[in-house]
Structure 1
Amino acid sequence: MEHSIQYGTQEITFGVDWRNRKTLAIEVHPDLTVIVLAPLKTNLQEVQEKVLKRARWIIKQWAYFDQFLPRTPEREYVSGESHLYLGKKYLLKIRQGESNLVKLRAGNFEVTTSAQPNQTKVKQLLSAWYQAHSTHKFEEAFASSQSLFQQFNLEPELEIRRMKNRWGSCTPSGKIMLNPEIIKAPSKCIEYVIVHELCHLVHPDHSRNFYSLLESVLPGWQRWKLRLEKSLI
């Protein structure tokens, strides 16, 4: 489960791994995730105070690792450019027609605009198409994954929200948030993100119990995590 604090205009999101240890430590990983290693008796307020105290250092680490992250070339939204959907590449075919429309057909994203096509309009139409289809696909995957956790009597709520550095997150109240960008990854990767967050509703930290549950529900999850990372860079 993720937590966050506000440092000026910067929001710092972090996970907490409670362990049998004496001191509290903060790790910033190359993928920009922040993990706090906390003694078992440490409460959340103490953790938040520590993160706030180390906020400047965390932001500095982010800046360092950010320069090594792979970059996706800036999209131009022109005919012939490839775009992902559920792990497959589709080429854009853009034309002017009677109405604004996006269709996925014969290996292509066919985008029709009622006015002269331009980058802004094509991007807007394609983004709206992704948003609509992510809602449908995520709800299906969410219901399917939730059925695997019946023994825990969870009542999670799904929300689709764009996030800068997260595929998904959850709140203590049981809300699971998914980034619509993951609709570009294979279906099994979407399932991995949902299952990962559902596991956090049972085990808020990244303890052995968390990973044991994750492995029992989605054996070989590491494969889909790696595939997701490769799909969305």
Structure 2
Amino acid sequence: MPLITIGELTLELQHKGIKNLHINVLPPDGRVRVSAPASLSQTAIRMAVVRRLPWIRQQQAHFQAQPRQSERQMCSGETHYLWGRGYRLEVIPVEGAHSVKLQGGWIRMRVPAHYDAAKREALLLGWYRQLLRQRLPILMAKWQALLNVTPSFVGIKRMKTMWGSCKTDTSRIWINLELVKKPPECLEFIVVHELVHLLERKHNQRFITLMDTHLPNWREHREKLNKMPLAFNRWGY
């Protein structure tokens, strides 16, 4: 992706078939991405960014102030999160089949002794995915009925910059796997947010009114989600 520099600020530039310029400050480190109409000149883009510099700096400061987890080594004694609560990890070498279970306030992972950190992480992520798959359909069914909408597809994947996404032209919804680590009300907020996009594509006043009507305390959930510790950044995005 092309990079441009404005003063001390380096940002990514995407030219798209869109009508308006969009500036996004992305977690976890405040990387700046500009999406601009294909016809917009470099001069116009730079002027737009300069006008938004105070807001950009404010957003970057917000991300820098957020607590971060240390890099996970997937070894006994580490703290890992499930539904907003921290649990200590216990890695137990076994010769038989591997497994992950929540037992007595611990996440107990039984794995062959030769499993390295990457394989242990993959096993934990698979367990997380299984737990999210159990809870997500219940929330989706509840809110599809309340909002009278039906997505064509709902999937789970790890996403680097979004908690959820909705392709309104195809009614496809993705939910970020990382939400399994956050309080349950945060997952519900994202579910409602993405389903409301099937009624209103843009984040305009109608969208806000729909959120206020169906989930009046959504702002509290959003704030809680934004204040939760960020995962250690190894993606380099």
TM interval, shorter chain, is 0.7 to 0.9
- 1:105 maps to which of 103, 106, 110: 103
* Corresponding pairs, count: 207
Aligned equivalent of 2:38, options 49, 58, 76 = 49
> In structure 2, the residue corresponding to 1:202 is in which secondary structure?
coil
2:154 aligned residue (158, 162, 170): 158
The residue number in structure 2 matching 1:127 is 125
TM-score by length of 2: 0.72
Distance 2:173 2:25 in 1: 23
Of 65-74 and 101-110, more deviation after overlay is shown by 65-74
1:213 maps to which residue?
210
Counterpart-to-counterpart distance in 1, 2:125 and 2:23? 35
Aligned-residue identity in percent: 26
Q: How far, CA to CA, are the matches of 1:175 and 1:92 in structure 2?
A: 35
Corresponding position of 2:8: none
How far residue 127 of structure 1 moved from its aligned partner, in angstroms, is: 1.4
Residues 47 and 28 (structure 1), Cα distance of their counterparts in 2 relative to 1, 3 Å cut: closer
Relative to 1, partners in 2 of residues 1:30 and 1:94: Cα closer, same or farther, differing over 3 Å? closer
Deviation at 1:65, TM superposition (A): 3.1
The answer as to whether partners of 1:196 and 1:214 remain within 8 angstroms in 2 is yes
How far apart are the structure 2 equivalents of 1:216 and 1:87? 26
1:137 to 135, 138, 143: 135
Contact persistence 1:159–1:178 (CA under 8 A): yes
The answer to whether the 8 Å contact 2:182/2:225 transfers is yes
Identify unmatched segments of 5+ residues in structure 1.
1-6, 19-23, 37-45
1:177 matched residue in structure 2: 174
Contact in 1 for aligned 2:164/2:194 (Cα 8 Å):
yes
- For 1:87, give the aligned amino acid: G
Amino acid paired to 1:114: P
Q: For residues 120 and 206 of structure 1, what CA distance do their matches in structure 2 show?
A: 38
What is the DSSP-based 3-state SS (H/G/I as helix, E as strand, rest coil) of the residue aligned with 1:177?
strand
Aligned to 1:43: none
Partner deviation per Cα, 1:74-132 (whole Å, 9 max, x = no partner):
11111111111111111101111232111111111000112345423321211111122
Counterpart residue type for residue 113 of structure 2: A
Q: Deviations over 1:117-174 (max 9, x none)?
A: 5423321211111122222222222222212111xx4444201122111100110211
1:201 aligns with 2:201: no
The letter of the residue matching 1:158 is V
> Aligned pair in 2 of structure 1 residues 101, 190: CA closer, same or farther (>3 Å)?
same
Distance change (3 Å), C-alpha of 1:72 and 1:121: same
Q: Deviation at 1:51?
A: 7.7
Counterpart in the other structure of 2:80: 83
The RMSD of aligned alpha carbons is: 3.7
Cross-structure match for 1:167: 163
User: Structure 1 residues 160 and 218 mapped into 2: Cα distance closer, same or farther (>3 Å)?
Assistant: same
